[in-house]
Amino acid sequence: MVSYKRLNPEDVQFSSALLSEEPRPVHEEVSVREPEEASLLPRRPSCSVNTGLLLIGCLLLLLCGGWLLGTVFWLHRPSNQQPHKPPSPAGAQTPDSQIDIGVNDAAAASRREACSLIPEAWRFDCYPEREVVVTRELCEARNCCFIPASSPSSSATHQSGRNGIPWCFYPQDFPSYSLVSLNDTSLGQKGTLVREVKTYYPADILTLEVEIRHETDMRLRVRITDPSNSRFEVPISVPTAAKKAESPVYTVEFSKQPFGLIVKRSSTGAVLLNTTVAPLFYADQFLQLSTSLQSQFIYGLGEHRSTFLHDVHWNTLTMWARDVPPMERTNLYGAHPFYLAMEDGGNAHGFFLLNSNAMDVKLQPAPALTWRTIGGILDFYVFLGPDPASVIEQYVEVIGYPAMPIYWALGYHLCRWGYHTSNSTWEVVKSLRNYGIPQDVQWNDIDYMDQFLDFTFDPAKFGTLPDLVKDLHAHDQRYVMILDPGISSVQPEGSYWPYDEGLRRDVFIKDAEGKTLIGKVWPGLTAYPDFSDDVTHEWWHDNLQRFYEKVPFDGLWIDMNEPSNFLDGSTNGCPSSSLENPPYTPGILGGLLRAKTVCATAQQKQSVHYNMHSLYGLMEAKASASALKRIVAKRPFVISRSTFPSQGMYSGHWLGDNRSQWKDMYTSIAGILTFNLLGIPLVGADICGFSEEPQEELCVRWTQLGAFYPFTRNHNAIDMRPQDPTAFSPLARTAMKQALLLRYSLYPVLYTLFHHAHIHGHTVARPIMFEFPKDVKTYGIDKQFLWGKSLLVTPVLDPGVDYVDGYFPEGLWYDYYTGDSLHSKGEDLRLHAPLDKINLHLREGSITPTQAPNLTLWVSSGQPLHLVSALSDDGSASGDLFWDDGESIDTYENNLYSYIIFNVTQNVMTSQVLHSNVEATYITVETAAFYGVKQKPSRVLVNSQDAAFTYRANQVLTVADLGLNLSQNFTISWMF
């Protein structure tokens, strides 16, 4: 189904006023060559026959000579062509005003020759509309180059709607904006851009303002706006710079005509942004900006199901929140217009486009990237890193640091759609307890509700739900239930408070006529709360408070919040307008902005839904987190399906309705790594898969992997067989139990990592390349990952094997379980991996605090610590621990925490309490193990007192029965 207005040649119009006006005066600050022609179409002035023939001869001679010289120059250009700049096509440019009909043919031939010299990788799509077979006539009506792809495999772009080399692409002289003035400001520069030629999209904005803000030494911000009219801007809070950066590590250069920005890293000269590679577009509903890329190593750009490293071979990533099971080449639940890019030598930078409208991001093998959005403004940041981890820190500083999770959020969560009754839910909880399987949280899907109505529970099937929750609390466990935003609109008046009160307070999204928009979700016909309105937040809180008094839940699972709709738009459809059918529609599933969501013309308090759509999940998460803080007076726990930048401040995320397939398990790793880049570290996938029947071997391997998701939940669909650990054979059940106990033993590590994410913007589940940015072999790895900087996870992702191949960057690594060491030169190694084992390795130089695991984190977190030191070749190691009560709000901000660092050097371990709190006094350090002690010590001292120890042949020294108070400094030393 075609969702855009097809633009035929007769639809391309030009302003007669623009064609007739005098050249604009140019400000003194910038010298700009005036365009010789104000139209994309050539004019044919009259001339005498003699003059015409003379001109024809001269011009043909000039053209041929120019073409020959240009071609020779191009063929003999230096081989070190800058990667950020495409080769210039040959051919002289001739003023259109001097060409008659005969010369037009020659000029057209020369132009086509110039077009052919643009390398395929540098061809920027001039006709991105889908479902259009682009002919030469259509393409040249846009004044673009038309060259059909040379091979069937590369002809996909315009023949079948798939990606491929564009047949229709911009010539290098395609008209764009000119920079006609540039002045200094307190933060950088501000300039005026002018376009003299209208484009083929309606409502061009011909005069723009560009503002360059040198916000910090590592962060550049650029805003391109319409100085005459205010346009929608994303309503999230970002830092406001007070003064210009004093020593920026970047330089900004300007191309005046056509306008472009070139941002370089000062230390290396690497070009991080170059917008001169293709023309800038800025129409009311079509904004386009292209840039070269430093390399093909691009990450981020969520939410999409793909490998962690994006494919730059004509790959289009569409962003527009959508309810759809994860699949490749489809816009999914969230929108995150941020990418991380690697450079030669291991440096990295980032780019963030602060825009919430529907957009396409086109990657091409030049390498280059094009942003194509249909609203808002161009407001973007460049982050200079220089290492990948620093890029993410700088990005998170802008969008907001993720919240510190409540301690039980890091335990094992169990859910399914199809428990059918509260008693059957309860039986599963009891079964896990009986088998000694850890579980912190039990969830319910929509079947707990009465007729799928929010803020209700089925009095017949779930009548014992309050008792179940009471029992969970008695066992130090927690309860989370689902909520969908759709509020039933068809209950008898006076019988359903959420809708009646919502109408009274006017909290629902309106249609274009100002009436409550009605869609359809699980309860039938529904209205949608407008979470962009503070009044709605208060109404949401009041509904939650009323339900909490019946069922004292602990956290919220907010689903269907793209928002999802079983209809396209509403029960009344959507009006015909440019908002519903924009001149260009990105490649969204369904082809329409309203496909399985509400109308783009729907009215919200802050703007039309056209602008607000992808923000819906963020705003609901914000309302939910705020309400939970007030209701439970503890850190809120919210897991949301739809997400947007800054979401980590309010919620975590799960990767949606995956399948019980090995491929889905593999792609989940890329998903959790990507969301850690995007500032949402509390992320996981449905362990064992959501839909389709679970396989025992798959579920064992997935539970082992899922034990290392930052957020760990097993969840499956209605009518599928149960897939909790108790549903399988004793061997499988035992293997799953061991994996979950392993996770619980590592809680101190995980909790400390989340502290660093909250305070510094660090990743929790971390790509290997973050720690080894100079090792290019790590750039594409998404079958392994790290917790923090030192715990390497190598899961089995294939059926029927008892081994796994993993890459070990150069250095010394230790088997986590045994302490056996291996020296890697940067190589792939085959590891033994029976069904009951997931391979873990410790990186040299790290100290890992662990605890004896138990059935809940409430119990586990009170156990004594065991410190594992993985020594470097020189005998050194370091680590840290953040500790607080696990649930109070803002403990770090209010100084209610302990922070301890551990170091080993020259055969001495020291602990140093940098910040103390009463919580640490309840914990002791019971044992310490040192991997890589090269010979057996003759003596071990603990706080200068002799202590018993053991030493194994694999160079592992263990000191037990320490009984050291965590809140006090201590030393452990050994001598030979």
Question: Torsion angle of alpha carbons 588, 592, 594, 599, nearest 10°?
Answer: 130
Helix (H) or strand (E) holding 546: helix 534-548
Is 562 labeled as catalytic in the residue annotation?
A: yes
DSSP per-residue codes, 348-381: EEEEEE---S-EEEEEETTTEEEEEESSS-EEEE
CA pair distance 976, 971, nearest whole angstrom = 17
Q: Which residues contact 78 (CB under 8 A, 6 or more apart)?
A: none
810-838 b/e with 16+ CB inside 10 Å = b?
ebbbbbbeebebeeeeeeeeebebebebb
Active-site residue identified among 303, 554, 562, 887: 562
Three-state DSSP state, 247: coil
**DSSP H helical segments within 308-421, as ranges?**
388-399
Helix (H) or strand (E) holding 107: helix 101-116
**Could you give the C-alpha distances from 42 to 38, 107, 143, 375, 592, in angstroms and in order?**
9, 11, 10, 31, 36
Q: Nearest 5 degrees, angle CA 652-CA 657-CA 659?
A: 130
607: its two tokens: 């703007």
Task: Confirm if 598 and 562 have CB atoms less than 8 A apart.
Answer: no
Strands (E), 142-275: 145-146, 168-169, 178-184, 188-194, 207-216, 219-225, 250-256, 259-265, 271-274
DSSP state at residue 60: H
Task: Confirm if 397 and 384 have CB atoms less than 8 A apart.
Answer: no
Q: Nearest 5 degrees, angle CA 430-CA 431-CA 437?
A: 100
Is 323 labeled as catalytic in the residue annotation?
A: no
Three-state DSSP state, 501: helix
**Helix, strand, coil content of the chain in percent (nearest 5):** 25, 25, 50
β-pairing, 712-716 vs 686-687, is: parallel
Active-site residue identified among 343, 559, 568, 782: 559
Task: Confirm if 898 and 966 have CB atoms less than 8 A apart.
Answer: yes
Helix (H) or strand (E) holding 479: strand 478-483
Helix (H) or strand (E) holding 433: helix 422-434
Q: Which residues pair with 521 in a beta bridge?
A: 524
Q: Terminal CA-to-CA distance of the chain, rounded, Å? A: 78
Residue for token digits 């009160």? 501
The helix/strand count (H/E) of the chain reads as 18, 50
CA pair distance 180, 259, nearest whole angstrom = 9
CA pair distance 491, 818, nearest whole angstrom = 62
Instruction: Name residue 256's amino acid.
Output: K
Three-state DSSP state, 719: coil
Closest CA to 675 of 888, 399, 357: 399
Instruction: Give the sign of the dihedral formed by CA 430, CA 436, CA 442, CA 445.
Output: negative
CA pair distance 398, 239, nearest whole angstrom = 6
CA pair distance 970, 903, nearest whole angstrom = 11
789: its two tokens: 């900087």
> Which residues are part of the catalytic machinery?
559, 562
